[in-house]
Structure 1
C-alpha cells in the first residue's frame, strides 16, 4: 500500500534538516520512500490531506491497561490497540493488570500473540512477583526472553525491601528493568485521596505525600546499594521530584513518569464526590502539579503517560469510598498535554521513553520504516463521550477543553485514521 502525505509540517527537534519544515512524504509498503517539497502521486497511491497537517515519529505510552485476559468487558487488546492508534500512539507498554496476571513466559507469549497484526505495537510487562502477591520473584528471566520489557506488580508497592534488593541484583544479569510503585501502605492506611485541606473538608480519608516519598527514599537507598535499573511509575508529589533529581545527580540508574491527569487536575475537583476523579496516586495540590510539570521540563521526570485504566461503569458509579481507581486517558493525552506546554515539547515528551525499555526509537527519514503520528496542534474542542473509542467510558476529561486533535497513525504498513 502506497500513502502520500501532502503538505505535512514535520515536528522532530532531533532532526534539524526537517524540523518545522513542510514536506510531502511518500510511503511505499511501509517504508518512507521520499521526502520532498512536492511529490506527485503515482497510481494506486492513497493521498492524505488534512487541515494544518503535522507529523512526527509515532508516540509512545509507558503505562496502559486494557482488560484481556479476565476483564474483557473493560477492554480487549484489539480494541485497546485500535484506540491507542487513533489517539496517536504507535507503541504502548501494557501493565500486568489482568486476571490471571502475567507472571510466566507463556502469559507474555499470549499477550504478544494477541497483538499481532494490530496498528499499535504492544510491549507487555510481567509481574515482579508470582501472582503479584509480593512473596516470591516471578520467572523474570524467562519472561524477558519471551518479550517482557520490565517487571511490575501493578499499583502494588514492594513491601518486602529485601525482595526488591534481590530483584535489582538479579536482573542485572540480563539488563532487566524493575518497577517499584511509590506507596508506603502503613502510612497511607485506608486513605483514598490526597491528605490535606480538601480531604479534611470533605471528610475523606487522606493519603499523605509522605506515603509516596518514604517509599521513594527507601527504594533509592536500595538502588544505590545494589545497582541495576529502577523505574518509579506515576509519581505525584513535589518532593518526589526533588528526591529523584538528587538520585540522578549521584548517578543512580533511575527513571520515573507522571500521569497526565496529575498535571492537569488537583484535589480541588473532588468537591462533588465524583468518583471519576478517584485515581492512584491521588490528585494532589496545585503546588505538586506545578513541580511535576517543572520536573518534566527539566528532564528529572523522564516521561509522561496517559496511565490509561478502563473500568466498568459499575465500578465507578458507586459511593466514592467503594469506587475503583482509574481513568482512561489515551484519547485525551495529546489534547490535554498540549494545553500545558508548547507543541515541540509536547511531541518530544510523547515520543520519548522507548530506550528505557530496550526498544528502538523510530526515525523520520527516507528508507526507514514509517512509524508516524498525524495531528493538528491548533484545533480546539470540548471532549465528550462521542470522542471515546475505548469500551469503558470512565474519563475524568469529559467536558474539558482540548487543544489539538489526532488524525491517525501510520505504522506496520497501515494507516489508521479518525476520518
Structure 2
C-alpha cells in the first residue's frame, strides 16, 4: 500500500511533528517521508481531506461483536470495519459470545476471523468456564493462544476466593485479570441507578454501594495476592477515590470508564428509552464530574466505548426486561470532543495500549503507519445514518457531537469513508 497524505495536522505528543501540518508519504505500509510538501512522481493515491488531522491509531479495551453465536447482533468482520471507520486500529474483544470464549481453540478461532484486517483484534478470554463464575477457565492455554486478558463480561465474580486464586495463578505468566465492579446481592434486581429518578419512575435501583463494595473487595484481594488487576467501566465518585488510594499504595491496578458514563446522567431515563439501559447504570452528575476529573488526573487509565450491539427484539420491550448495552464505536470521538479538548481526547483514545500488550510508535519516519484520520471541528447531530453496526441500539442518537472520523491506515491497509 502506497499513499501520500496531504496537509495533515499531526496530533501526537510523542512525535517531533506534533501540532504541525505536514505531508506524509507511506510506502508498503511504512512512513518513509514527512515534510511540509511532498511531490508525487510515482502517482500514488493521494488523501486530501477537509481540516485533516491525524494521530496514532486509537485503542478500545472493551468491545463486543457477538460472533460466534450472536451474528444477528454483529459479526467480527463488520465489527472490525465499524471500528476502522470510527478511528480505532486496535480493539480488545470480549468473550460474551455463544459459546463463551474460554479455551485455546476459541481464542484461535477468534484470531483467525480477524486475519488480514486493518484493525488488530485482541481476544479477551473468559475468566471462568462459560463465564459461570464457578471454575477458572484455561487461562494459561488461552494466554499462549493470544488472549490479552481474562474477563467474564459484565458478570461479577461472587466468590472472593475464586478471584484470589485467579490473581495468584495469572501472576505466574503476567496475566491480566479483569473484574466487573458489582456486588450482585446489593444490586439485586435493579435496572438503573438508585436515586430520586428511579423512585420517580418506579424502577428498581442499583445503588452506587454495589459497585463500591466490589471495587473495595477486589483491591483488598489484589493487595493480598499481588498480580495484575483491571477494573472495567467504573461509574461512581467513590470508585475513583478507592482506585486513587490503591495506586498510592503502588498496587498494580488499572481501570476504565465507558464514554456514555462520562456524558449522560440517569435523568435521561425519564422516557423509559431502553437504549439508555446499560451496566453499570448511568449515575448522577456529581459522579460524572468525578469521573471526568479522574480521567484528567490519570486515576482512570483509559476510556472505552463498551460497544455492545443488542438486537431489536431485546431492546424494544419493557424496560425491566430489556437487555443491557449500547453501541458506541461510531459516536466515541464526537462524544469525547464535547467533554475534552482535542489533545486530551486523542490522549485518552490512545492510552491503555501498554496494559493490554499493544506496542506503540510515534508518527515518525521509519515507523509502520498506524494512524487515525479525522476532522476535530465538524459539528453534527448523530443519527441512524451514522450507525455502521448491524444492531442500532445507539444511546447517542440525536445528540449534538463534535468531530468526525475519516478512517484509519494500519497493517498496510487504508479503510476510509
> Please, what TM-score do these two structures have when normalized by structure 2?
0.99
Q: Is the 8 A contact 1:2 1:44 kept in 2?
A: no
Report matched runs for 1:42-121 at 5 Å.
42-121=41-120
Q: How many angstroms apart in 2 are the aligned matches of 1:34 and 1:125?
A: 36
Whether 1:14 and 2:14 are equivalent positions in the alignment is yes
Q: Is the 8 A contact 1:58 1:362 kept in 2?
A: no
Secondary structure of the corresponding residue to residue 239 of structure 1: helix
Deviations 1:225-252 (A, max 9, x none): 0000000000000000000000000000
Moved more, 206-215 or 354-363: 354-363
Deviations 1:145-185 (A, max 9, x none): 00000000110001110011011011111100000000000
Residue of structure 1 in register with 2:128 after alignment: 129
Q: How many angstroms apart in 2 are the aligned matches of 1:358 and 1:406?
A: 25
Give the C-alpha shift of residue 131 in structure 1. Answer: 0.8
Q: Which runs of 5+ in 1 are unaligned?
A: none
Give the C-alpha shift of residue 362 in structure 1. Answer: 3.1
Give the C-alpha shift of residue 361 in structure 1. Answer: 1.4
Secondary structure of the corresponding residue to residue 125 of structure 2: coil
Q: Is the 8 A contact 1:59 1:350 kept in 2?
A: yes
Deviations 1:73-132 (A, max 9, x none): 000000000000000000000011100001100000000000001121100000001111
Q: Is the 8 A contact 2:12 2:362 kept in 1?
A: no
Q: Is the 8 A contact 1:56 1:347 kept in 2?
A: yes
Secondary structure of the corresponding residue to residue 62 of structure 1: strand
Residue of structure 2 in register with 1:315 after alignment: 314
Residue of structure 2 in register with 1:290 after alignment: 289
Q: How many angstroms apart in 2 are the aligned matches of 1:43 and 1:34?
A: 14
Q: Which runs of 5+ in 2 are unaligned?
A: none
Q: Is the 8 A contact 2:56 2:372 kept in 1?
A: yes
Q: How many angstroms apart in 2 are the aligned matches of 1:115 and 1:329?
A: 20
Deviations 1:50-83 (A, max 9, x none): 1110000100000000110000000000000000
Aligned-pair Cα RMSD in Å: 0.6
Secondary structure of the corresponding residue to residue 6 of structure 2: strand
Q: How many angstroms apart in 2 are the aligned matches of 1:279 and 1:329?
A: 12
Moved more, 360-369 or 192-201: 360-369
Deviations 1:10-61 (A, max 9, x none): 001122x211011000000100010111100132401000111000010000
Q: How many angstroms apart in 1 are the aligned matches of 2:276 and 2:405?
A: 25
Q: How many angstroms apart in 2 are the aligned matches of 1:254 and 1:157?
A: 17
Residue of structure 1 in register with 2:193 after alignment: 194
Report matched runs for 1:2-401 at 5 Å.
2-15=2-15, 17-401=16-400
Q: How many angstroms apart in 2 are the aligned matches of 1:252 and 1:91?
A: 27
Q: Is the 8 A contact 1:9 1:23 kept in 2?
A: yes
Q: How many angstroms apart in 2 are the aligned matches of 1:148 and 1:206?
A: 35
Q: How many angstroms apart in 2 are the aligned matches of 1:162 and 1:121?
A: 34
Q: How many angstroms apart in 2 are the aligned matches of 1:353 and 1:361?
A: 10
Give the C-alpha shift of residue 363 in structure 1. Answer: 2.5
Q: Is the 8 A contact 1:129 1:135 kept in 2?
A: yes
Give the C-alpha shift of residue 413 in structure 1. Answer: 1.1
Q: Is the 8 A contact 2:25 2:33 kept in 1?
A: yes
Q: How many angstroms apart in 1 are the aligned matches of 2:388 and 2:191?
A: 28
Give the C-alpha shift of residue 359 in structure 1. Answer: 1.7
How many pairs were matched up? 417
Secondary structure of the corresponding residue to residue 125 of structure 1: strand
Secondary structure of the corresponding residue to residue 367 of structure 1: coil
Q: How many angstroms apart in 2 are the aligned matches of 1:85 and 1:44?
A: 25
Q: How many angstroms apart in 1 are the aligned matches of 2:2 and 2:358?
A: 26
Q: How many angstroms apart in 1 are the aligned matches of 2:70 and 2:385?
A: 23
